[in-house]
């Protein structure tokens, strides 16, 4: 099987590495020669590092690299069986690429997009054979992150869905299936991790260091929300939030924060610019959190319950199965526990009561409890029995 990858940026080069490691010949193309050269150098460096670390031997690294063919365009993609597109996140450009691609590949070739936020139906809509178009959403860095979201559009055929999932599973990834809705699973369910933390900050309940401390030390997350936003980049994180908000027809639950918008406007993007919520200038010490456990627990509980509500609502609206929702959050973004399992542990009645308390105080739709949780509380049910 031959795999084509369009776009050799952070995601495309990682996906090419994964496919070549799985034994496929990979055609990797990019319209920008510099990006292609950068990808080639980066892949070589990564493979050499894997050899140094003893993860693979030298002949294997050479064989993987030898299976990747770098190309300036997709003119030679005629014999590919699967093409994964990982170019700029722009619908018109993606649609035009898919249209031109269809003139080259065989009608049986599966065409996938790695888009984070665009609808797969709209990309498929530009194609002659829309039934072979699907979303295959890797996480960054693709060779390290186990999770891949598989998103069939309404046009996608069951055969293409089955084959795509089988291919990605065979690459050693953990696949979850989501319906074609904004943010799919991970980028939807994770919104409150950032949004509620920002809201707590804006209300002056606590500073960034304290909120980060509460989420790592008390709730068990690997990184606090502000450290993570600085790592992702406030520009990137803000745009995703805004896109999700608009795509949900301005549901207040996904409302972006002025604080983050201002940071983004100011160029305080986080680590990459040396300044975000924290100052990364050499010699500048990190601020100390206020380690008041009681106060910290209130913060952690508030963010966690909003995450649980989001996960429950995603299940309520059939975005994915309960197993896939929990798997996506633990394997895609390393949450310490599946959110629905967490809801069971907390007790569904307790979850509803925490959400209603927030709603009673704020009277904002943002804090509305998912009907699923309310129904389950009434019927004394749990997610996993």
| Catalytically annotated residues | 116, 137, 149, 187
CB of 6 to ligand NAD, least distance (A): 5
**Closer by beta carbon to ligand NAD, 95 or else 259:** 95
Q: How many CB atoms lie within 10 A of CB 373?
A: 25
Q: Give helix then strand counts, H and E, for the chain.
A: 17, 8
CB of 62 to ligand NAD, least distance (A): 25
**Closer by beta carbon to ligand NAD, 103 or else 294:** 103
Tokens encoding 92 = 């018109």
Query: What is d(CA 142, CA 238) in angstroms, rounded to the nearest whole number?
Result: 22
Tokens encoding 360 = 């009673």
CB of 49 to ligand NAD, least distance (A): 20
Chain centroid to CA 297: 27
CB of 159 to ligand NAD, least distance (A): 25
> Under the rule (CB under 6 A), what is the footprint of ligand NAD?
6-12, 29-32, 35, 86-89, 93, 97, 114-116, 138-140
**Closer by beta carbon to ligand NAD, 25 or else 89:** 89
Q: 146: Cβ–Cβ under 8 A, 6 or more apart, which residues?
A: 172, 173, 174, 331
Nearest residue to ligand NAD, scored by beta-carbon proximity: 9
Query: What is d(CA 229, CA 264) in angstroms, rounded to the nearest whole number?
Result: 11
Could you give phi then psi for residue 70, rounded to 5 degrees? Answer: -90, 130
**Closer by beta carbon to ligand NAD, 70 or else 383:** 70
CB of 97 to ligand NAD, least distance (A): 5
What sign does the dihedral 49-54-56-59 (CA atoms) show? positive
**Closer by beta carbon to ligand NAD, 233 or else 287:** 233
Burial level of 144, CB count in 10 A (0-12/13-18/19+)? exposed
């Amino acid at each position: 099987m031959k795999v084509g990858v369009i776009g050799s940026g952070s995601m495309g080069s990682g996906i090419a590495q994964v496919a070549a490691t799985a034994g496929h010949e990979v055609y990797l193309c990019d319209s920008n020669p510099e990006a292609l050269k950068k990808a080639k150098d980066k892949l070589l460096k990564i493979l050499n590092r894997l050899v140094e670390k003893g993860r693979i031997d030298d002949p294997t690294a050479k064989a993987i690299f030898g299976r990747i063919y770098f190309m300036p365009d997709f003119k030679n993609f005629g014999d590919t069986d699967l093409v994964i597109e990982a170019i700029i996140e722009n619908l018109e450009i993606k649609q035009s690429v898919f249209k031109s691609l269809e003139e080259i590949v065989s009608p049986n070739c599966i065409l996938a997009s790695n888009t984070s936020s665009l609808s797969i139906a709209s990309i498929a809509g530009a194609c002659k054979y829309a039934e072979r178009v699907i979303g295959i959403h890797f996480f960054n860095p693709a060779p390290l992150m186990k999770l891949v979201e598989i998103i069939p559009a309404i046009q996608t055929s069951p055969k293409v869905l089955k084959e795509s999932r089988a291919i990605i599973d065979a690459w050693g990834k953990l696949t979850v299936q989501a319906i074609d809705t904004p943010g799919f699973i991970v980028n939807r369910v994770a919104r409150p991790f950032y949004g509620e933390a920002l809201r707590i900050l804006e209300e002056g309940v606590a500073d960034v260091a304290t909120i980060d401390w509460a989420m790592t030390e008390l709730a068990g997350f690997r990184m606090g929300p502000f450290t993570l936003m600085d790592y992702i980049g406030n520009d990137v994180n803000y745009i995703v939030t805004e896109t999700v908000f608009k795509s949900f027809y301005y549901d207040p639950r996904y409302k972006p924060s002025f604080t983050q918008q201002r940071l983004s406007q100011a160029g305080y993007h986080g680590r990459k610019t040396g300044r975000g919520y924290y100052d990364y200038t050499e010699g500048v010490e990190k601020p100390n959190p206020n380690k008041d456990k009681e106060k910290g627990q209130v913060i952690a509980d508030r963010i966690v319950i909003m995450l649980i509500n989001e996960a429950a609502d995603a299940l309520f609206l059939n975005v994915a199965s309960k197993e896939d929702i929990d798997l996506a959050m633990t394997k895609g973004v390393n949450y310490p526990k599946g959110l629905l399992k967490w809801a069971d542990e907390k007790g569904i009645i307790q979850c509803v009561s925490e959400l209603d308390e927030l709603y009673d105080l704020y009277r904002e739709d943002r804090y509305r409890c998912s009907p699923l949780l309310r129904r389950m509380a009434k019927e004394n049910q749990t997610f996993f029995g």
